Structures are given as C-alpha cells and as structure tokens.
Amino acid sequence: MNMNFTDWKEYVQNMRTSMSSVKSLSFDKLLLLPSVVYITVIIGVPALFLAYLTVTQDVFSLFLDTRFVGLENIISVLTSGDFWLFTGNTLLYTAGVIGIGIPIQLGIAIALNTDLPYRRVWQTLLLIPWTIPFVISTVMWKLMFIPEFGVINHLLIEVGLIEQQIQWFSGTGTAYFTAIITTIWIMTPLGTTILLAGLESIPDNLYEASYIDGAGLWNQFRHVTLPLLRPALTAVLVIESMLALRGFEIIYTMTRGGPGRSTTVVAIDIYRQMIRNGNAHYAAAEGLILVVLILIVLGIIVKGLSSDTELEVE
C-alpha cells in the first residue's frame, strides 16, 4: 500500500470538510430532532394504529385477536346509509357557517376599515368571543334559545315576528339554525380580524389610482379590494370550513345531534361509535374517510380561489 504524501493530504482534507459539514448539519438537526421525534411518535404511532384498526376486525376482542379484512370496514362505512346522512349534515352545517358567516365577517371588516378611535379597545373587545371555550359559548346561547324562558323567543314575540314559541330543539331546521348561529358568533372575531388585516394591507394609492381612472366605489371594490383580499379570504375560508367540518362540541352541546339524528355530524357519529358502541374499527374507518372528505373540500376551495379564476361578484 503505497500512499504518497499528496494523497494523504487530500484524504485528510476530505475528512475535514465532510466532518465540518457533518458538524454544521448537526446543529440544526439537533434543534429540530426532539420536535420531530415527538410528533412522529405521538402522532405517527396512532396514525399507524389507525390504519391498523381500519383494516382489521375483532375476532374476540381488541388487541388480542384481530383478523385482516382489508377494505371491508371502509366499505361498510360507505355503504351505511346513515353515514351519508351524517356527511350531508356535516356539509349542510359547514355551508351554513361559511355561507352566512363569511359575508357577515367581510361586511364588518369593510365597515371597520377606517380611521376609528380607541382601536386597541374595540379590537380587544371584538376578540373576546374567540377566547371563550366553545362549550361555554354554546351553553350561553343554549340558555337564550330555550323555548319557554329563553330571551330569543321572547324578543321575537315582542317585536312581533312570531306569535308562538319556536321549539328550537325539536325541529331539524331550527336546530341547525341554533348551531350555525352559535358557530358564526364564535368565529366572528377570527374572520373579522384576518379580513380587516387583509384590508388594511391594501395601499391607499391603489384606490386613488383607480379613482383617477374613473372607477366609482363599486368598481374599486371589484377590481382593487377583492383581488388583493384573495389570500386573506382564502385563509378565512379554509380555517372556518375546516373547523366546521370537524366540529363536534358546538353541535353536541347545543343539540346532542338531535332531534333524533338530524343534526348528527360525522364527528359526533365517530364519537358514538367509539365510546357508546365500542366499535373501534368502524370509528377508525369513519375517521379516515372524514380526513378524505376534508381534503376534498379543501381542494375545492383552494382550486376555486386560485389565481386563474375570476372572482365573480354580482
């Protein structure tokens, strides 16, 4: 083995560079490793277990004896008529929340996008409903909706809009309404804050320029505000629809999924299957399908708001 001196020098230099790159790699890897390990374990292991639960069924009892059933669990969820009822309920609820809620939040944000005094004060006040635990907010609204002694019925009667007490929790449509209104109430701070921040980031001179070009208020809105608000709008839409699609506690506290099962959403059914029926495999499969459902809706939203579509405003 005859290595001459130049070879040796090269060898040592190569070692040095690779070692120092290993060293500089090590620092940032050291920083992120604990976090990555933690997430991988605490989320990854259950995720794997979820996959396992989805494709197996009990022979006698959980963990002890299961047999591989492939897609059977998923198919049994998809072919159960109930599941489609729950999916429809979930979509209806979500549509109500974002269809009614976001225009309201946008309207509020537009109205407030001006030089108002005491900014810190009212911004803090506006934020408060978001920071209250959802269950507590729902309980407060439930108190107002209770038929005989709730304020809402009373106010409606006083104003003359209705004559008899509305039985909010006995009818499907009204039960939805209670859940949707409560959710919108809870989400208002979130949507308004994000949209307001988005509106404020639009430079004034753009409005001036369009004004000089002859654009009135409405056209300014269409061609300056809306396009530039797109990122904020997308963010609000994504956040709120995701919250609504996986929503559990608001509806469960308000209506328990009733009357009957007419407001039961997918999340509630997963809970029932898991805890009441102990049916881990069905619940797991259902949970998986919920993820797919959310991804589909997310995809539709992002596609619908991508840069190549015109924001039509009527």
Partner 1 sequence: MGLWERINQNQALINQLHRAVAIVVLGLVLIWLFFPILWALETSLKTRAATVASPPIYWGFDVQWQNFILVWTETALPTYIFNGLFIATVTTILSLILGVPHAYAISMYQSRLGDASLLLVTITRIVPPITILVPIYFIFSSLNLINTKVAIIIAQTAFLEPFVVWIVKGSFDSKSRSLIDSARTDGCTKFQAFYKIMIPVSLPGILSATTIAWLLSWTTFLSVFLLATGPQAQTVPVGVFELAQDTFTPWNLISAAAIIGIIPSLAIVTVFQKYIIRGLVEQ
- Please, which of residues 103-142 interact with partner 1 by CB under 8 A? 107-108, 111-116, 120, 122-129, 131-137, 139-142
C-beta closer to partner 1: residue 1 or 31:
31
Member of 95, 197, 296, 313 binding partner 1 (CB under 8 A): 197
In whole angstroms, how close is the CB of 9 to partner 1 at the nearest point? 28
Return the number of the residue (15 or 125) whose C-beta is nearest partner 1.
125
What is the DSSP code (8-state) at residue 248?
A: -
CB 107 within 8 A of CB 313: no
Return the residue of 55, 180, 190, 244 that touches partner 1, per CB under 8 A.
Answer: 190
Looking up tokens 């976001």 gives: 102
Residue 259, preceding peptide bond in cis (omega within 30° of 0) = yes
Site for partner 1 in 8-47 (CB under 8 A): 24-25, 27-29, 31-32, 34-36, 38-40, 42-43, 45-47
**Alpha-carbon distances of 112 from 1, 107, 108, 218, rounded to whole Å:** 82, 9, 6, 17
**Segment (H or E) for 58:** strand 56-58
In DSSP terms, which residues pair with 90 in a beta bridge?
A: none
Binding mask 240-269 for partner 1 (x = CB under 8 A): --x--xx-xx---x-------------x--
Task: Specify the stretch interacting with partner 1 by CB under 8 A; choose among 69-77, 150-158, 222-230, 300-308.
Answer: 150-158
Give exposure, 3-21, as e/b (b: 16+ Cβ within 10 Å): eeeeeeeeeeeeeeeeeee
* CB 100, CB 182: distance < 8 Å: no
**What's the closest the beta carbon of residue 243 comes to partner 1, in angstroms?**
10
Q: Does a cis peptide bond (omega within 30 degrees of 0) precede residue 34?
A: no
Nearest distance from residue 46's CB to partner 1, in Å?
4
Among 78, 80, 271, 272, contact with partner 1 (rule: CB under 8 A)? 271
- Residue with smaller CB distance to partner 1, 135 or 209: 135
